[in-house]
Amino acid sequence: MSSILVAVLSFFAFIVAYNTYGRFLARKIFGLDPKAIAPSEELEDGVDFVPTKKSIVFGHHFTSIAGTGPIVGPAIAVFWGWLPALLWVLVGSIFVGAVHDFGALVISMRSRGQTIGDVASRMISDRARILFLIILFLALSIVLGVFGLVIATIFNIYPETVLSVWTALPLAVGVGYWIYKKGGNLLVPSILALFALYATVYIGVYYLPIALPASDATAGFAEAMRSPVVIWTVILFVYCFIASVLPVWVLLQPRDYINSHQLVVALGLLCLGLLFANPEFAAPAINSNPPANAPPIFPFLFITIACGAVSGFHCVVSSGTTSKQIKSEADAQYVGYGAMLLEGALAVLVILACCAGIGMGVTTAEGVTLQGPPAWEYFYGDSWTDLNLGKKVGAFIEGGANMMTAIGIPVELAIGIVAVMVACFAATTLDTATRLQRYVVQELGAAVGIKGLQNKYVATSVAVVVGLGVAMTPGPGGPGTGGLILWPLFGAVNQLLAGLAFLVIAFYLIRHSKPIGFLVVPLALMVVLPMWAMWSQIFGWFRDGNWLLVGVGVAIEVLQIWMLVEAVLMWNKAKGILPQPLPPLPLPAEQGVSE
């Protein structure tokens, strides 16, 4: 089958879905009201609640939810063949993921920008709130530990990316100052920042790759702690602390906006490359003979591809930062539903790069050039356990760069462009996840009555210390790879979050006497499949004597089952009963006294 035909049909499906199903949800189910006062206007504080143009919010939201998830997940899942991965991305993103993101965004906006965990308190029960927040805290701790490793690994393998990623920071501060303090127009600084960013990609590839001195991880703990991965990880978490406590308009918003333009250009180049190259599929449509140690396609396909189809992490972004920035409910479909479809489009391109682009040619470590199926087998022909982080990211970078060469971009520059795109995606998720973890810690502090945790600096410190602690724990590759110890938990936990978010959305709808038939299948899928996958993994870890993963996995399952029980007990009591109203806002004078 033609790779171009797959891309065209997929993108057409996304456009149709946005203008039909997305519009149905916006008008008939959630009844978006452009006259409603958004939390960004009602609670504007210049730090977290900042009314923002929808184009900027879209850039922030898209880059935050995407991260490396829609790259790494599909790049692994094509191990089972490109067709199952493609079908799950298309069906999942349209009918599951986009509904999840959109629903979480709307109910958060109608709850004064509360996170989905806090919303659970009013929709289900106070216990459900605490349970949800604990699960969120565990999941975000893993995200922080692993995404720090992903970026540090990319910096180490592709030193040409370093200059461009860090140059985005002063550019973002400048754009933020120009827009919010000088009232300047977006167009000119956006174009200038985009040119500057791509100029640094070129400089980084040909003139200034920034590589830290290598260390011998086998020479002892002290030497291993001087490894490039460890040093970059520490630097990244220092940056995350600063980014989390600064007002969103200073760094987070403009950085994500600049990155979104850079990412859209890179995606455009990939599409053009695909159009001109029209590569044949090197991977089988369905891999009928995977290695014996590979997990079964069902249910693990639906856990492996999270971002790109549906991801519980997205409900935290929708309700954690995005709902505090949107100026009008009317923008919610564009941001919440639309950004998820764009992420699905990215996942489609990843599948095509890994299954068709890679067949255009790869050079092995021994200097042998492979093309067609042998090139795909070079990345995917070994055992499941050999599909490490370098291969996962490398398959997309190499395949995507191959497609770009069809439009005349030199292969080394193409690799730099794709690698920077991956690093920028991961970086935006890392700093957003730190801010989200800060909100979760603050809400947990409020829920259990610990006032100190409600301070943003204390909460951010907890988020950074825990994330850095997970990252710096000696893992499979020594210090700095500790996130990989808990990473096997993340896929199932992430999808469990999606199931629990669907549960909160369902309670919102039944309390407001809205139909929930369209939610039944997505809710069932995101409760049953992750639970099935988690228990399968727990039994495997038990046989292997991996007691840490067994303990954490069982604890998470207990929390989830407890929350499901809470929901069952409250279901009949909630039908048609509006949630408790939010407490009245303090008068301006009272706000001044409390501060």
pLDDT at 219: 58
The tokens for 468 are 């850095």
Indicate the residue type of 141: S
Computed on alpha carbons and rounded to an integer, the radius of gyration of the chain in Å comes to: 23
Specify the DSSP class assigned to residue 322: G
3-state DSSP assignment of residue 32: coil
With vertex at residue 387, the alpha carbon angle to CA 382 and CA 535, rounded to the nearest 5 degrees, is 110
Nearest to 15, CA basis, from 349, 352, 344: 344
**How buried is 437 (Cβ within 10 angstroms: 0-12 exposed, 13-18 middle, 19+ buried)?**
buried
pLDDT at 504: 95
* Contact predicate 509/519, CB 8 Å: yes
Residue in the structure block whose two tokens are 């829609």:
70
Residue in the structure block whose two tokens are 């990215």:
346
Nearest to 491, CA basis, from 301, 341, 349: 301
pLDDT at 69: 81
Whether residue 279 is preceded by a cis peptide bond, meaning omega within 30 degrees of 0, is: no
Nearest to 560, CA basis, from 147, 140, 138, 141: 138
Q: What CA–CA distance (Å, rounded) separates 113 from 322?
A: 8
pTM of the model: 0.91
Domain regions of the chain by residue span: 3-594
pLDDT at 591: 44
pLDDT at 216: 64
Specify the DSSP class assigned to residue 95: I
Please compute, for residue 92, the number of CA atoms within 13 A of its CA located in the half-sphere on the CB side: 29
What percent helix, strand, coil does the chain show, rounded to 5?
75, 0, 25
* Contact predicate 329/343, CB 8 Å: no
Which string of DSSP letters, residue by residue, matches 423-438?
HHHHHHHHHHHHHHHH
pLDDT tens string, the chain, 595 residues long: the values are 789 999 999 999 999 999 999 999 999 999 999 999 999 999 999 889 999 999 989 998 998 898 778 888 999 899 899 999 999 999 999 999 999 999 999 999 999 999 898 899 899 988 888 888 888 898 899 888 888 888 888 898 889 999 999 998 999 899 888 888 887 777 788 889 889 999 999 999 999 999 988 876 555 666 667 888 889 999 999 999 999 999 988 988 888 888 888 888 998 999 999 999 999 999 999 998 877 678 899 999 999 999 999 999 999 999 999 999 999 999 999 999 999 999 999 999 999 999 999 999 988 878 889 999 999 988 888 777 766 666 778 889 999 999 999 999 999 999 999 988 888 878 888 888 999 999 999 999 998 899 999 999 999 999 999 999 888 887 777 777 777 777 778 889 999 999 999 999 999 999 999 999 999 999 999 999 999 999 999 999 999 998 988 998 999 999 989 999 999 999 999 988 999 888 887 655 444 333 3
Specify the DSSP class assigned to residue 326: B
Question: Positive or negative, the Cα torsion across 152, 265, 101, 112?
Answer: positive
Q: What CA–CA distance (Å, rounded) separates 379 from 377?
A: 5
Specify the DSSP class assigned to residue 329: G
Count of all residues that appear for the chain in the document:
595
Which helix (H) or strand (E) segment holds residue 369: the answer is strand 369-370
**How buried is 572 (Cβ within 10 angstroms: 0-12 exposed, 13-18 middle, 19+ buried)?**
exposed
Which helix (H) or strand (E) segment holds residue 530: the answer is helix 517-544
pLDDT at 390: 67
Specify the DSSP class assigned to residue 125: -
* Contact predicate 355/376, CB 8 Å: yes
pLDDT at 224: 67
* φ and ψ at residue 227, rounded to 5 degrees: -70, 155
Q: What CA–CA distance (Å, rounded) separates 548 from 542?
A: 10
* Contact predicate 107/346, CB 8 Å: no
* Contact predicate 38/312, CB 8 Å: no
Which string of DSSP letters, residue by residue, matches 203-251?
HHHHT----PPP--GGG-HHHHTTSHHHHHHHHHHHHHHHHHHS-TTTT
Specify the DSSP class assigned to residue 362: E
* φ and ψ at residue 148, rounded to 5 degrees: -60, -40
